[in-house]
Amino acid sequence: MIILGLDPSLSCTGWGVIRAEGSRIAHVANGQVPTDARAPMAERLASLQEALAEVISTHRPDRAAAEEVFVNKNPQSTLKLAQARGAVLAACGAAGLTVNEHAARLVKKAVVGTGGADKAQVQAMLKVLLPGAAIGGADAADALAVAIADAHLVSRI
CA distances from 45 to 67, 96, 128 (A): 19, 19, 34
> What is the distance between the alpha carbons of residues 140 and 76, in angstroms, rounded to a whole number?
24
Active site residues: 7, 67, 139
> What is the distance between the alpha carbons of residues 147 and 27, in angstroms, rounded to a whole number?
10
Asked if 152 and 112 touch (Cβ cutoff 8 Å), the reply is: no
| One-letter amino acid for residue 115 of the chain | G
> What is the distance between the alpha carbons of residues 43 and 95, in angstroms, rounded to a whole number?
21
| One-letter amino acid for residue 14 of the chain | G
